[in-house]
Amino acid sequence: MHNPTDDEWIARAIALAVAEKGTDPANTPIAALIVRDGKLIAQGVNRTTEQCDATAHAEVEALRAAGKAVGDMQIKDATLYSTLQPCGMCTMASIWAGVGRIVFGAGRDDVHKMYFEDRHLDTVDFIRDAFKDDLSLEGGVKAHDCAQLYYGPDDNVPQDKQANT
């Protein structure tokens, strides 16, 4: 049986983002998948606006669904796929869930800075360094296709659409 590649999982995540949220960056079409042993365990899309919940990022939604699906808060040896580089909260949540590997599409340099909590240090770099024995992070899979879904680094984003800056 053919085991889907990282490219194919990210393509699926893109398709999910578009199916659930469309292609307008204003609707934050971010999607995440949790995969283990070549099988999709759970998926999620960003629901922060709909649920009035700042923690309802696609990755957290997927982790919650995966926990329910496997009946365990730990989803050991799973891979989390996301269309956009996970933020510090979602990276940390993955570590709490025992997810050993994160693969993402667009990285923070491919999109507008509103998507990341950059300050004088970057939490993603901090977490990546602190937990380098527990988590591998790989980016840039179908980065261009993923970045098309989001505001670009130089886009003039209306202030009321910016969550983070």
Q: Among 32-40, 89-97, 142-150, 153-161, which window interacts with Zn ion (CB under 5 A)?
A: 89-97
Is 87 near Zn ion (CB under 5 A)?
Answer: yes
45 counts as binding Zn ion under rule CB under 5 A: no
Please state, as a whole number, how many other Cβ atoms lie within 10 Å of the Cβ of residue 95.
Answer: 16
Task: Please say whether the beta carbons of 76 and 35 come within 8 A.
Answer: no
Tokens of 132: 């380098």
| CB-based contact 41:69 (threshold 8 Å) | yes
Number of H helices, E strands in the chain: 6, 5
Quick one: 89 or 157, whose CB is closer to Zn ion?
A: 89
Judged by CB under 5 A, how many residues of this single chain contact Zn ion? 4
> Which range, of 90-98, 103-111, 117-125, 140-148, touches Zn ion by CB under 5 A?
90-98
Whether 20 sits among the annotated catalytic residues: the reply is: no
Closest by Cα among 55, 63, 73 to 102: 63
Note the Cα 44 to chain centre separation in Å: 9
- Least distance CB 18 / Zn ion (angstroms): 19
Question: Does 90 sit near Zn ion (CB under 5 A)?
Answer: yes
Residue in 90, 108, 107 with CA at minimum distance from that of residue 99 = 90
The residue (of 5 and 164) whose beta carbon lies closer to Zn ion is 164
| Site map 99..118 versus Zn ion, x via CB under 5 A | --------------------
Among candidate residues 50, 59, 61, 138, the one labeled active-site is: 59
- Where along the sequence are the contacts to Zn ion (CB under 5 A)? 57, 87, 89-90
